Each structure stands twice: as structure tokens, then as C-alpha cells.
Amino acid sequence: MSKKIFDFLSSFGIMLLGVVFLFLASITYPKISQQVHFLPKSQPRIILASGGDEQPTVLPVSHPNVPLKRDEAEYDQKMTAISALLLDDKTDTILFEKNADVIRPLASVTKLMSALVLLDLNPDWKKVVEISSDVYDNNSHFVNIGEKFTLDDLWNVALIGSSNSAINALVAASNLSKEQFVVKMNDKATDLRLRSMRFVEPTGLDERNMANARDVARLLKVALSSDKIFNTLQTAEYYVRPQGQKPRRVWTTDWLLTGWVPNKFGDFSIAGKTGYIEGSKYNFAVRIENGGKRAIRTVILGADTFEARFSEARDLASWAFAHYAWPGDEDYGKLAQP
């Protein structure tokens, strides 16, 4: 036998012997317990409810934070508004709606967005400006060409008296052109996700300023989160002070706030903004909070008459407070499913 064949058989024999030893070791070596000591121990099983879900024997007391309807009553009052929306102010729960997605001209409700942009620009409210012919609107009766006012006075006249001249003067004092200011209005609408809302000028005189009731309700909520806007829109009468002249009284355009449209909201907090041009008819967006800290927002777009926008907002709010219960009301717990 040659040496090469001998070496081959020797190597093969050694390899075969190794395989045999490995096999014998695998069937005779004792198994090692692989217990893991750092895993947490499970808690005792909780009682099983039907369906297999695990639930504790005692559930925590929990209620939804949305208003709940007390009865099956439906709103049945006459409504001339083309579009209307009623919702809970805190949770945005819709309590009533009519054509809430129809896009309508905003008229002077536009001034809510103009006010938000002005606040973003942080003007010097003590600054004095003169009313020029460029900003004057013939329908404004509270400011006149050549008169001088602080920006704070013009702010109040613009929102309380809905003066177009005042809002134009504020825009002019912002050091932005009207076109640049309108770009900021539309950018803010985009930032706030008010997708139906479009602006072409800051007063509301142009009927191309448009939105649906849902976005108007959202705009009102954002606007009233500003103390300056909220406090201004709660002012029933204001005395504007042209420099060198006697104070001039400005009544709010919100007739629910003055009580000129009869209502039972005397002790309630009311803050809203009106609007009217021929193309929009009569608009009104308002927040009403009753003495029990229950608040609703109502949007009326396209009412037939000056007073109808207020009476229809009033009737919707009264209906909501009568037929819905809020957390904290005595009967709320009975309406919430346990």
C-alpha cells in the first residue's frame, strides 16, 4: 500500500471517530436548565369578563366630557339663515347644523382674521395715526378724514363698531401694503387649517372673502382665545377719543350684547362679531357662556334680516342650554352610560 493511500485512510478514520464521539456526547450529556431570573413575575389573573377581555373587578368612575342630550327634542324654530352651526365651545361637539359646509361671503366677520394678523405684528397700540382719504370708507361714522387716533382706539372702533375705516387705518399703520397684509391673512388661514377660508381684503366689503360655517366657528374660537379680542368683543359701548375733540360713543353691532334683541342672557358672557354686505346677507358668529360655565358657539350665515341673525342665534343657544346637559349638571350622570 502506498504511503498516500495510507495517509488518506488514517485521516478518514480519525474524522469518522470524531463524529461518533460527538453523537455519543449529544445523547448522554445532561441537559442544563435555562431559567431566566431577571424577568418580572406576572400578577394574579384579573377576573375575565364575557368575551375574554380582562377587566378589574372595580372600574374607575369615568364620564365623557361632552354635552349629552336630555331628551329627543329636535330644534324646530323658524330659521332664515342659509347656513348655521351650533357646537359646544370646549369639545367642538356639534349640537345642531344646517348647510354647515356651504361656502358663504363673510362680510365683516373677516375682521376676526384681520385682528389676529394685527396681533401677530405686535404694533405699538399707543402710536397715533391720522385718518387719510386712502383708508376712509364713506359708510364709517366713527372716524373722519384728518382726525387722529391711537391704534388702540382704532382697534376698538374696528371690532366694536365694525368700522372699515378703522381696520384700513390699522393695516396702513402695520408698515405692510394691503396686498402683503392679505397674504398674511391667507397664510394664517392655512396654518389654522381653515381650508374653506379665502381673503382678498381686510374689511369684508368684498364678497370674495369666503368660508363655510365650520371654519367660521373655528376662527371664532381661535380669535377669542386672545384676551385682547375677547375683551373687546364683550364691550357693549365704547368712547373713542379723537385727539383735540370730545369723546365719541360707539355702540357694538352685537345686539345680543346690548339686549336690543330681547334675550335672557343678561348674566351670560357674550362675545361675537357681525357682518353684512348685500352678497352675504346677515352674518353673526358668537360665543355664549351661561352662569354654569357651559359655553356654546353659534354661527349664522345669510339670515334674511338684521335682527334675524341675532334672534336665530339666541334661539339656538337657548334650545341647547335647555336640552343638553354638561358635566357637572345634576342629571348628567344619569345620561352617561355607566
Q: What is the pLDDT of residues 281-302, one digit of tens each?
A: 999 999 999 877 799 999 999 9
The predicted model scores a pTM of 0.81
Cell of 69: 342630550
Please state whether 281 falls in left (phi above 0), alpha (psi between -120 and 50) or beta: left
> Which CA distances in Å does 147 have to 20, 56, 234?
111, 72, 26
Overall average pLDDT of the 158-166 stretch? 97
Assess if residue 131 is contained within a domain. Answer: yes
Assess if residue 48 is contained within a domain. Answer: no
Distance (Å, whole) CA 60 – CA 326? 20
User: What pLDDT shows up at residue 29?
Assistant: 46
Assess if residue 39 is contained within a domain. Answer: no
Overall average pLDDT of the 78-93 stretch? 97
Distance (Å, whole) CA 96 – CA 226? 26
Confidence of residue 62 (pLDDT cuts 50, 70, 90): low
Q: What is the CA radius of gyration of the chain?
A: 35
Confidence of residue 59 (pLDDT cuts 50, 70, 90): low
Mean of per-residue pLDDT scores for the chain: 87
Confidence of residue 239 (pLDDT cuts 50, 70, 90): very high
Overall average pLDDT of the 24-42 stretch? 50
Q: Residue 211 is part of which domain span?
A: 78-335
Assess if residue 61 is contained within a domain. Answer: no
Q: What's 314's domain CATH number?
A: 3.40.710.10
Number of domains composing the chain: 1
Assess if residue 23 is contained within a domain. Answer: no
- Residue 142 CB neighbour total at 10 angstroms: 24
Confidence of residue 94 (pLDDT cuts 50, 70, 90): very high
List b or e across 16-39, with b for residues whose CB sees 16 or more CB atoms inside 10 angstroms: eeeeeeeeeeeeeeeeeeeeeeee
User: What pLDDT shows up at residue 13?
Assistant: 58
Overall average pLDDT of the 178-193 stretch? 98
Assess if residue 114 is contained within a domain. Answer: yes
Confidence of residue 267 (pLDDT cuts 50, 70, 90): confident
Higher model confidence: residue 328 or residue 83?
83
Assess if residue 55 is contained within a domain. Answer: no
Assess if residue 99 is contained within a domain. Answer: yes
Higher model confidence: residue 109 or residue 290?
109
User: What pLDDT shows up at residue 36?
Assistant: 47
